[in-house]
Copies of this chain bind each other. A is one copy, B any other.
Amino acid sequence: MTKQVNIAILGFGTVGSGVYQVLTEGKESIKHRELVNIDVRRILVRDLVTERNIGLAPIETFATDFADIINDPEISIVVECMGGTVPAKDYILGALAAGKTVVTSNKEVLAKHWPEFERQAKATGAGLYFEATAGGGVPIIRTLLDSMQGNNITHLMGIVNGTTNYILTKMADEGRPYAEVLAEAQKLGYAEANPSADVDGWDSVYKLSILASIAFHARVNIDDIYREGISLVSAEDIAVAKKLGYTIKLLAIGKKMNNNLEVRVHPTMLHNSHPLANVSGVFNGIFLTGDAVDDIMLYGRGAGKLPTASAIVSDIIYASNVAEHRYMTFVNEFDAPQWLVHQKDWLSGYFIRLTASDELGSLSKIAGVLGDSGVSVHSVMQFNENAHKNTAELVFITDTARELSVQSALARLRALSCVISVDSVMRVEE
């Protein structure tokens, strides 16, 4: 009754060694509960001498030549935990071509090369599993695939990058500026020496590409996703947001209206009553709306050795026990082609913070420009902290407006003599 499954792990850093640990420590209970005996037959590393985790597994398990794995007919599942696209892409394609199922945690290579992987997997009947590519230990992919099939999903909003959420949470809790908190996060190992993949939003873009493709049954390329990172979020924005009952989060947003999709990653103001507003520190949260299930949210650790390993191991077991591997069916191949909403034509609320001269009629002029541009004001606050300079800080929150209208209003506001500076513009989601 118990099935024997032999696997190879590609890469033995944090994630790869975590998978080894979970499979080793949980071996007997997995065998008992799931009726599958999983043996790690091979671990591929670049170099036996420099591999820091070499002591964690028997030396004979390690290999440095991918051919040892591809040519081993007893290995049925290849777990790719290397990250990056080279050589991960070729290894994944090679494994699939050899009829081996691939389980990967590599969001970058999947977001960039998914269609090639799918074609290759279909050709040999191999499986392709990637729960760990988005949300770490949070079972968001399986939820989309196996628990929401009766739904037309219309909204997806996620905090999918722990590093940026940690930085924004620290900035909010301690009132400190971005650069200082980033430097501290780097010192603590929560941010990379080169933090661009996280703070510039690339990691969130990869994950949104994967999640939106599944949720909307339409292949969403990374180039289609608008991207804005957190480096321009100021301590002032956060402080003002707090006063108004809002929190600033880096959100990955996908929306479907009729047959139109919009997909974007940017800092976003969320009212504190929104469930995502309470997702703090390195935690991730993904909020979905389906026409049947209504709102649901999944919350958990989006990264880390064991949470990521948890997702990978669940994929290995799932892949071992499934009768037939299944493949994506994207609407693009079936329905009328999806129209991707132009990046500047979204509908959103907007937060506009500006410094105006504290003179009679300023507010009315500014409100007039917004109104003329088709941007309706939801609320306005005036802060007089700079009263001694004869300037006032004005904060507007708009009703839902078109991004193009807001941008045109901003151009006109900047030209007003009473507007000293437009200090910040941020999108607001409900």
Contact = CB atoms under 8 A, between A and B. Distances in A.
A206 to B, nearest CB: 21
B146 A33 contact: no
Interface stretch (A91-99, A195-203, A303-311): A303-311
Given A131-B147, A314-B149, A137 B293 contact: yes
Interface stretch (A112-120, A177-185, A316-324): A316-324
A363 interface: no
Contact of A294 (B29, B137, B150, B290): B137
B139 A317 contact: no
B296 A138 contact: yes
Contacts of A227: none
Copies in the complex: 2
Interface residues of A, number: 54
A275 B329 CA distance: 35
Given A292-B313, A321-B326, A30 B149 contact: yes
A297 B298 contact: yes
Contacts of A322: 322-323
A282 to B, nearest CB: 10
A234 interface: no
Interface string A7-27: 000000000001000110010
A143 B144 CA distance: 11
B301 A150 contact: no
Contact of A301 (B23, B138, B295): B295
A226 to B, nearest CB: 27
17 contacts: A18-B292, A22-B150, A26-B150, A30-B149, A139-B147, A139-B148, A146-B146, A148-B310, A149-B318, A150-B313, A275-B278, A292-B307, A293-B300, A293-B306, A294-B300, A298-B299, A323-B323
Name the 3 nearest CB pairs between A and B, nearest first: A323-B323, A150-B313, A296-B300
